[in-house]
Amino acid sequence: MYYPIPSTQQEFNHIVEGFRARTLPAKEWTHEAHLITGLWHVAELGYENALAEMRLNIPVYNESTGGMNTDSSGYHDTITVFWLWLLNEFWEKYSVGARSFEQVCNQFLQSKYADRTNAFIFYSKDYLFTTKARLANVEPDIQPLDFSKI
pLDDT tens digits, one per residue of 40-97 = 999 999 999 999 999 999 999 999 999 999 999 999 999 999 999 999 999 999 998 8
**pTM > 0.85: yes or no:** yes
List all residues 6 or more positions away from 35 whose beta carbon is below 8 Å from its beta carbon: 83, 87, 108, 109, 114
Q: Are 97 and 5 contacting, i.e. CB atoms less than 8 angstroms apart?
A: no
Number of domains in the chain: 1
Q: Are 47 and 88 contacting, i.e. CB atoms less than 8 angstroms apart?
A: yes
Domain that holds residue 30: 9-75+89-114
Q: Are 3 and 28 contacting, i.e. CB atoms less than 8 angstroms apart?
A: yes
Assess if residue 27 is contained within a domain. yes
Assess if residue 138 is contained within a domain. no
Assess if residue 141 is contained within a domain. no
pLDDT at 4: 78
